[in-house]
Each structure stands twice: as structure tokens, then as C-alpha cells.
Amino acid sequence: MRKRIKPAGLRLEAMALDIPEFPDHPNRIPFSGVLTRVDRPSDRAPNGAQGHRVLLPRAVAERALPSLLGMAVDYAPGLRGHDVQRKIGIITRAEIVEDRLEVSGHLFGKDFPDVIAELRARRTQLGMSYEVTDVRVADRTAPIWVLEQVVFTGAAILDRTAAAYQSTSLAAHAAGSKQGAIMEERVLKALENLAESNQALLAEFQRLRGALEALAGSPGHSLTLAGSAGHSDALETRVDELARQTEELRRQNEALRAQAERFAAQSARKTIQPQVLALLAKSGVATNLLGHSGKIEVAVLDRALEGLPTEQRLAIKSQLARAGVLD
């Protein structure tokens, strides 16, 4: 399905596949990202461009947009390149907004739990890169290749510094409600802001402490004038205040990290089949043993499942292992 929307001052081309809704599907982890930029030269030469930077005109991208739908998203260990034989997701929507070619779809969370965990842990560093075939270049002798025709064959998730366009991005959301994903994004953003605040406070703390030490070590410091003594007192007061602020930020940091761990544990629980959760709840497992880390020790689980038929115990342990909550 193709839509062309023209708000004031903005042209947008969008296409999407009609995928039936299936809430909390364990193998559909929603993602969205900026695949590339249009009408702008790449920051570095992509693979296959023989060392040339490239430029994808908007009109060419619009014509090729239908070829993106249904194409795979791939991943290479180390996140420095492409691996077209390691398909970890699918693109179901593509649109051009301003100069951004944005894509969304889902990653195969149940099939690639370790990869998804790595992507989520490194998401602030990630970008995307497109894969194309049937490429036609306007002038192959030009320093920047202007593409006249492309057919998209897929996309790769990789470290942003390895992408041809370093302003690409990726967001891989947790399985479950959009509200939970939004909340987790807010927690992570708050953690980043706290880290920046801590660095700024630490820098000022060290600067003022250095000033105090220099003042204390200066000749004749014991005979300081009233003005100098007052300046020293002001510095010491500011150092104490910064120390208190740093400690408060540290406490907030720990609280937010604990909240992020709870979100991760909740996401893990949502990949477990409801009937397994119900059975665990009857044994007291779901409420007593799934902590903030979302992990259950095998020995503890075995004790909790005593009395159940062997087939049932194996089925539960297999499901928990696939969900990544078995320690």
C-alpha cells in the first residue's frame, strides 16, 4: 500500500505491508530506524562503491521504496559490516520524511535472543546501512557517485561509525506494550543525563579542590587576609555542596538502573507462554523466584516443580530456557 502525504512544507512518501496484529508475539520485537539520508552525500564510501562516497536522490529512493518492503534485516558479529546470510528481522514499513529514509518492522526475538540483547545494550551506538543491486551510477569518474537507479535487497544493523551515513539510528523495543517501551526509553535517557551531570559535577569538584590545595600550599597561607580566608571558605562550601549533589545523583543513578532492570525482567516474562506462567504461579515460582534480574536458578526450579510429571517439567524448563530466564 502506498500513501503520499503532503503537509505544509513537507513531502512524505510511505509504504507498508499489511501484517496481522498479534499482541506480544514472542518472535516479533518491533524496531524502527533511519536507514539512510536522501539528497545528501554519504559520510564515507559504502561497500561496493570502489572508494567513492554516494548520493541517493529523493526521486530514486521513492521509486525504489517498494523494493524495501519484505526485505530482511541482517547482522554481523562485531557490528562492523553486513552478513546477508544472518537474517534477524524483516522490514514492513518504509517512508521518506524530510531527508530521512525511515524503516520499521520486527526482529526475530525468540530466534536470536543473544543478538537482541546485544542490540538493546548497544542501541545508542547503532545505525543502519542499506543493501542494493541493479545499481546505475550517473558518472563513475565523479568523486561522489550519484545513484540513478537502485533496487533494495535488505538492510544491516551495525555500529554507526561503520555505516556509510553516520547519522543513521536504530531503536529496538521490548516485546510487549508500547507504553513499556516508552518508559524504558525514558529511563535510559535519564541515566544518560545523570551520567553527563555527574561528569560535569566531578569536573567542577576537581577544579575547586585543586584551587583549595593550591591556596593551602601557597607561601604565607597561614597569614591570609580576611578576604582570602573568605574566598577559601566559599570554595570549601562549594566543594561540600558538590559532594552532596554527586552523592544524590549516585543514588538516583542506582534507582534508575534498578528500574531499568525491572523493565528488562518484565520483558523477559512476557516471552513466556501464559499457561506456563500460570503453572509456575501455582507452584509459587512466578512470584517468589523471578527477581529483578528475571532469572531462576535451575536447582531452585527443580525443587519448585517436584511432583509434576517428567514431560511437564521438561516442557516448562525448555520454555523458560528459550525465554532467557533460566540461570
**CATH code at position 78:** 3.20.16
114 and 195 belong to one structural domain: no
Asked whether residue 110 carries a pLDDT value surpassing 60, the answer given is: yes
How far apart CA 72 and CA 13 sit, in angstroms, is 21
Query: Is the pLDDT assigned to residue 3 strictly greater than 70?
Result: no
Q: For residue 229, what are the domain limits?
A: 182-266
161 and 119 within one domain = yes
Shared domain check, 142 and 227: no
User: What is the structure's pLDDT at 170?
Assistant: 81
pLDDT beyond 90 at 84: yes
Phi-psi region of 294 (alpha: psi -120 to 50; beta: other; left: phi over 0): left
Cα dihedral 163→166→168→170 (10° resolution): 70
Instruction: Name the DSSP letter for residue 221.
Output: G
pLDDT value for 230:
58
Q: Are residues 53 and 186 in the same domain?
A: no
Q: Are residues 262 and 149 in the same domain?
A: no
At which of 243, 266, 289 does a domain end? 266
pTM of the model: 0.53
Q: From residue 148, how far is each of 47, 51, 53, 140 by CA, in Å?
A: 18, 18, 14, 11
Q: Are residues 190 and 230 in the same domain?
A: yes
Per the structure, how many domains does the chain have? 3
Q: Are residues 25 and 142 in the same domain?
A: yes
225 plus 150 within the same structural domain: no
Task: Region of 58 please: left (phi>0), alpha (psi -120 to 50) or beta.
Answer: alpha
Mean of pLDDT over the chain: 75
pLDDT at 163 > cutoff 70:
yes
- Decide if pLDDT at 114 tops 80: yes
| Same-domain check for residues 152 and 60 | yes
Strands (E), the chain: 2-5, 12-16, 29-37, 53-55, 72-75, 87-97, 100-107, 126-137, 144-159, 169-172
Strand-pair category, 87-97 with 100-107: antiparallel
Q: Quote the CA–CA distance of 266 and 40 in Å, as a whole number.
A: 41
Torsion of CA 291, 294, 299, 303, to 10 degrees: 60
The residue among 173, 207, 240 that closes a domain is 173
In the predicted model, is pLDDT for residue 177 greater than 70? no
Tell me the pLDDT band of 149, cut-offs 50, 70 and 90. very high
- Spatial distance between the Cα atoms of 34 and 43, rounded to a whole number of angstroms: 15
Q: What is the DSSP letter of 7?
A: -
Domain boundary among 250, 266, 282: 266
Same domain (yes/no): 168, 31 = yes
Looking at per-residue pLDDT, the higher value among 290 and 322 belongs to 322
Mean pLDDT over residues 235-261, rounded? 69
| Per-residue pLDDT tens over the stretch 202-246 | 677 677 777 766 666 655 444 344 445 555 666 677 777 777 777
Same domain, residue pair 38 and 61: yes
Which residues are CB-neighbours of 136 under 8 A, at least 6 positions away?
147, 148, 149, 150
Q: Give yes or no: residues 168 and 189 share one domain.
A: no
